[in-house]
Structure 1
Amino acid sequence: MSLQQVEQIISILNKQSKPYEWVIQEFHKVDELKDFDLDLETFELLGLAFYLNQDNCLSLKTRTTKIKEETFCIVDIESTGGIKHGQILEIGAVKIKNSKELDRFNTLIKVDQIPENITELTGISFDMVENAPNLKQVLRDFKLFLRDSIFVAHNVRFDYGFISKALHECGLGILLNRYICTIEFAQCCIQSPKYKLDVLKELLGIESIHHRALSDALAAAEIFKYCLSKLPYHVQTTEELIKFVKTSRTQRKIAI
């Protein structure tokens, strides 16, 4: 996948607005997007929202969107294995804005088989997914649910990478959404010996069923909201939040 390539383009757009044609040209260099007719609506469906100014230049909305005005989508997936050979078994997500819930997404997905250890871990049996919708149908619905909100997950690169790869294999593009990892965010804001989901749930008194997608997404959302409450005042916009998480997580500057 071309996550690093996308990040390089976004890094440039983070610093300054760029002409419309430049943005289209750069994103067409990404293999997974070269056959897409890219315009503002398509970018939004892929996960990136822009402002188009009178000089025909594009600016990332996340550069100026206040955190309280941003929509965050906290996501969790269950799968039959790793990204290379596994299949997505369940997607759960909750959208929040200003720490208030807006909507939920939750569905099982039809798969070829479920290993016994996955059934033991999640409680999801093959009988439960026999009549579930197929992956392409679910991903279409999920993209419409997600749109250009900020993708948040516990160990975000797993969920983000898995879904982006599945989208590409289904001919639906890739994820371009800005993203935040609640493990890294928690490392900025919470003193804990470990940052696994179950450890943080116990530390913060969050009760939920473990290893089901929506339940874990809701737990991660509570961790995310707690961390937002600990942000320094100078972190105001979405991009400032993303930068803060990336640069501050090892410094532990915030008191519990």
Structure 2
Amino acid sequence: MISEPEMEDTGDPGEPLDLVSHTDRPPLLGRFTAKPWMWALGAVVVTSAVWAGVLKGTGYGQTAQPDLHGYHIDGSNPCTNLNLQPLAGSLAVTGFVQSTPVITRTAVLDRASCELIGMAGGSRGWRTTYTMSVTVDLHKKTDPKAEFDARSLAEIAVPGGDQGLVFSYMDDHEVTTHPDGIGDRANMTTGVYRQSLSVRHGGAVFSLTLFGFSERDDTNGDRSMLLPPIAKTSAFRKDLVPTVRSLMDALSQPPSS
């Protein structure tokens, strides 16, 4: 009689068989379980990227470059007789000598500085040397308005009822006023011996200073006569504004080819 094969004892018959799991691999749910801090970090990265795109699109945090109004420094000497009229003509000198201009260019600032020097014959054996000193700054990244305007905030009363900032230069008392009609802002410092005008127009700043020195001409005159070494220049004060305007016009012209 053929009997049914004997079943081999496989263990506790009450324990169910696991037919789908693999003892050498973790459960499916466990394989996809991430740590909470990883999910938070991912959310921060995504949020930051979204905001960066939004801010970039709106231009938030970006500073507009200063308007240079077409001014340029092309390497030529700004200190010419023509550029510094009418002041150069009013000095009545016999001729001018140009200094070699110092020109620097960087990513944020172009600068030119130079001097135009002339000698005028005086009476009784004295001659006067006048120096017109020019500086031009072209700010290409940062607006110079705050720095420029801060120089003239502290104003005090001066004799005559005018408002200005009083300086001391040698034995001279200088007064700063602000003429209208040139650039965005102008600071004019004047005294007996030194005359100076600075003008801001957008990102461009123009500065002109006039001073003079008297010296004895031993070949012509009375050596016994004495004059102060610092020459009076107050008579040329009226020429400052039109001269700086002439300089600004010259540096706004298209470069010569």
Measured against the shorter chain, the TM-score band is under 0.3
Superposition TM-score, scaled by structure 1 size:
0.23
Superposition TM-score, scaled by structure 2 size:
0.23
Q: Between Structure 1 and Structure 2, which shows a larger proportion of helix residues? A: 1
Highest relative contact order (Cα 8 Å, sep 6+), 1 or 2? 1
Larger radius of gyration: 2
